[in-house]
Structure 1
Amino acid sequence: MSTLNTLFRERIGIPVHEKITFDSLGPILEKTAKTFPFENLCIIGCNTGAITKENLMNKMLVRNEGGLCYELNSLLYFFLAESGFDVSLCRGVTYNNETQDWTAIGRTHVTILLKHMENTYLIDTGFGGNLPLVPVPLTGETVTSNNGEFRIKKEILF
């Protein structure tokens, strides 16, 4: 097992030898959300670095810091890939349910797409308190977690 995988498991409280399955992703996402703060302290302090596996490990697994979507989801991406999942990083636009509109700053969000048994799911741990905490299928099916109901809706923006 890699150092990243071991440190990630230690940080969120998963035994090192526990097999990670699709069915265990919900609890893993919830533990990840409760463990890694969504924060921009490095940006405020003008102390940013390149988004590399090594830098993410040092920041979030050694120094026990949090981060923004591109850090949190990238770290989770590496963990899931090393755990045998078919994952890719994806960028997108976020939706503000209160204003019923897409954010004006464009495709600035980074998330994860996971393929499992011929279906694709959105996996996200980098959106503050508005996290699904479970894999969200791209089929439009509504899923429920402790944070509410979530679904993917296809829309053409541009």
Structure 2
Amino acid sequence: MSQPIDSIDGNRSHHAPAPNPHANPSEANTTKRALLLGYAPQTLEALRDELTELGVATGGTASLVHLESPEFDVAIHAPGTSSAERRQARELLGSHASLIEAPAALAVSRAASALEGEAPPAIDLDAYCARIGYRGPREATFHTLATLQEQHPAAIAFENLDVLMDKGIDLAPERIDAKLIDARRGGYCFEHNALFKRALTAMGFQVDGLIARVLWQAPAGSAPNLPTHMALRVWLDDTPWLVDVGFGGNMPTTPLDMTTSAPQPTPHGLYRVLPFGDGWRLQVWIEDRWRSLYELAPTPQLDIDYELPNWYTATHPDSHFRHRLTVALSTPEARYSLADQRLTVRTTDGQQTRTLLDADGLERTLHETFGLDVGPDWRPLLERIAES
């Protein structure tokens, strides 16, 4: 059986567990094999050593042009692997092997889980699509992505009610699904974009979670804030698109091309993505000038990387979400924003209305405008907000 060329030393060899002189031939035939694709040589060597310790035979290559044997049980590829190479890997590996994207920090654990038959956190796509009213194809195309990004923030409200009621925010996938899908609640960025990321991944999209420093409404010249916003980068034909369904009343409702700094029209205004340091700065055109929303770092984040910024945002006394009711919904016709007792409606043709609400008005608006089933324990909070 031929082996993949080792991209570290160029030999036709692979890492394998040390032979067990007492093993019988049938045990040898059950050795699991993992291919690592697209990692830097030093990273590749470290990953292969870890998998070897787990009893997994490994092959590694920086490029599929070196791949001679498709006889692997799982292939783990680095983020940024081109769509052409992913398609080639799928063709070479066949349907029996899993093809999984993973940053280096997750490569070994995801390979081990796949080899043990453990699936990543699942999402009920039927339930999710029903929640946002999506009935289109579930294929990784720009049209699908754009339609999903339009319908998600029109159906699932951005809101911080649990934060204001000291209930905390649990980012476990099953808890997010129970809240945003089953209970028809809303949430904030970590909940929205985590849910959207899993839905897109289940449809075959290549998605990176990113982290950002919020600049919106920060005083000029103020010190940088902690990075406390989650956004997504979606790759289509090797082009990165900024996707965000969790930035309240100013989120872009269509994907934004991250390779250009030119203004990009959306149903809710002009946006642009500027190169800034080693990342990007997202800006929106408001009141005849560009206003900065946030700065994105380029490094993909692991799910666990969001736990600390989520904890800070939900519990720290300096977090503005601890002090102000924030609810938003973006439909094709208008944006609806609730800041404490003030409801603002901005239509796509530029009209704007503002209304101050009492406690009854808040309760009615949360239900009728934002689609939230108001719980009996919300009333004391709404009365405090109305009196403030």
Q: Please indicate the TM-score interval, normalised by the length of the shorter structure.
A: 0.7 to 0.9
**Partner of residue 84, structure 1:** 204
Amino acid at match of 2:159: E
Amino acid at match of 1:129: G
> Shift of residue 101 of structure 1?
7.1
Identify which of 230, 240, 262 aligns with 1:120.
240
Amino acid at match of 2:186: G
SS at match of 2:208: strand
Alignment of 1:35 with 2:138, yes or no, is no
Identify which of 9, 22, 37 aligns with 2:142.
22
- Show structure 1 runs of 5+ residues with no match: none
Alpha-carbon contact 2:137-2:144 (below 8 Å) kept: no
SS at match of 2:124: helix
Alpha-carbon contact 1:68-1:126 (below 8 Å) kept: yes
**Partner of residue 142, structure 1:** 263
Aligned residues: 155
Alignment of 1:69 with 2:189, yes or no, is yes
Give structure 1 regions of 4+ aligned residues with deviation exceeding 3 angstroms. Answer: 97-104
> Shift of residue 4 of structure 1?
2.4
Aligned alpha-carbon RMSD (Å): 2.3
Identify which of 46, 52, 55 aligns with 2:172.
52
> Shift of residue 147 of structure 1?
1.0
> Shift of residue 19 of structure 1?
2.8
> Shift of residue 63 of structure 1?
0.4
Q: TM-score, normalised by structure 2?
A: 0.37
Using a 3 Å threshold, how does the CA distance of structure 1 residues 84 and 99 change in structure 2: closer, same or farther?
A: same
What is the rounded CA distance, in whole Å, between the counterparts of 1:115 and 1:100 in structure 2? Answer: 33
Alpha-carbon contact 2:123-2:198 (below 8 Å) kept: no
- Show structure 2 runs of 5+ residues with no match: 1-121, 278-294, 296-388
What is the rounded CA distance, in whole Å, between the counterparts of 1:102 and 1:122 in structure 2? Answer: 26
The structure that has the greater radius of gyration is 2
Using a 3 Å threshold, how does the CA distance of structure 1 residues 24 and 141 change in structure 2: closer, same or farther?
A: farther
Q: TM-score, normalised by structure 1?
A: 0.87
What is the rounded CA distance, in whole Å, between the counterparts of 1:66 and 1:93 in structure 2? Answer: 22
SS at match of 2:248: coil
> Shift of residue 124 of structure 1?
0.1
Give 1 or 2: higher strand fraction: 2
What is the rounded CA distance, in whole Å, between the counterparts of 2:201 and 2:213 in structure 1? Answer: 24
- Per chain length, whose mean CA-contact separation is higher, i.e. which structure has more relative contact order (CA < 8 Å, sep 6+)? 1
> Shift of residue 47 of structure 1?
1.4
Alignment of 1:133 with 2:253, yes or no, is yes
**Percent identity of equivalent pairs:** 24
**Partner of residue 105, structure 1:** 225
What is the rounded CA distance, in whole Å, between the counterparts of 1:135 and 1:54 in structure 2? Answer: 26
Alpha-carbon contact 1:53-1:75 (below 8 Å) kept: yes
> Shift of residue 31 of structure 1?
1.1
What is the rounded CA distance, in whole Å, between the counterparts of 2:221 and 2:192 in structure 1? Answer: 24
> Shift of residue 122 of structure 1?
0.8
Alpha-carbon contact 2:123-2:202 (below 8 Å) kept: no
What is the rounded CA distance, in whole Å, between the counterparts of 1:94 and 1:124 in structure 2? Answer: 13
